[in-house]
Amino acid sequence: MKDWQGRIDGLLSRAEGQWGIAIEEILPEGVQREPWRFERRAHEPFTAASVIKVPIMVAAFEAAARGRLRLSQKILLRKEDQVLGSGVLHSLETGRPYSLYDLITLMIIVSDNTATNLVIREVGTSFIQEVMAAYGMTGSRFHNPLMVIPADSPGPNQVTAADMVKLYGAIARGKAVSWDASRRMVEILSAQQFTDGIGGCLPRHEGPVGSLPTWRIATKSGQITGHVHDTGLLFLPGRTLALAFLSRGIHDPLRAKRFIADAVRALYDAHMALAG
């Protein structure tokens, strides 16, 4: 077992709750070496919380590519659209139009639930389900908008760590909708405001002015009672990793985020030791 895998297992043995973890290196085409890979309960479904917003984003870009809608189209924010939870639109004045692209951005970077539900309304639940299946997310389920669960709902939204890593792999390879759409989705994910999980223990950039940092992340986290998740891409010099950390049975969210941060730091340290 690689040292970083042993370090993560050691951290996992001391972590609270149950965890589904998937880590996979995204190799460039033509590279023959064995990719870095780590899985623990990776195919077990977990309540999705806000990480379901990543496949919703992909579905929105897919719908635009098929001509079902335009990312520039304007959507009016109404009082009845506002829901509580994370985000800012529930606190803003209604009666204003927002572009679908801006709603997608708010859905990801500040995890805005109101924006998410507006995107879902435009894209359609069945189309989101279709896109998730097309991208191989066979262990994941999308049923409900955010903060609104219909009485006849078949259950909560669910994802697996393996499915999330598969989707991020498609984005990183430029195969999620198109190369340009994948690039734009990475840009949105890179503007994430909640980075204390995957980005929590990565070193500060202290190089000369103008020098390139040694890491970059593009992420989407999720947190509800009992669950702390973080997912995304970790870009290192010469190596890109897709990551998914899903949990349940969490009583101390800060401890859970520290576990994620420490696990990602183990990956970073292992890569830098090889690169150095």
In which residue are the tokens 């659209």 written? 81
Residue 199, helix vs strand vs coil: coil
- Nearest to 22, CA basis, from 161, 137, 139, 159: 161
Bridging pattern class, strands 227-236 and 37-40: unpaired
Sketch the domain layout of the chain as residue ranges. 3-143+156-204+214-275
Residues in the chain: 276
Q: How far apart are CA 217 and CA 54, in angstroms?
A: 15
What's the whole-model pTM score? 0.95
Q: State which amino acid sits at residue 119.
A: V
Q: What are phi and psi of 185, to 5 degrees?
A: -70, -40
CATH architecture type of domain 3-143+156-204+214-275: 3-Layer(aba) Sandwich (3.40)
How would you write the pLDDT of the chain (276 residues) with one tens digit per residue? 478 999 999 999 999 999 999 999 999 888 888 899 999 999 999 999 999 999 999 999 999 999 999 999 999 999 988 888 888 999 888 999 999 999 999 999 999 999 999 999 999 999 999 999 999 999 999 998 876 666 566 788 999 999 999 999 999 999 999 999 999 999 999 999 999 999 999 999 878 888 888 999 999 999 999 999 999 999 999 999 999 999 999 999 999 999 999 999 999 999 999 886
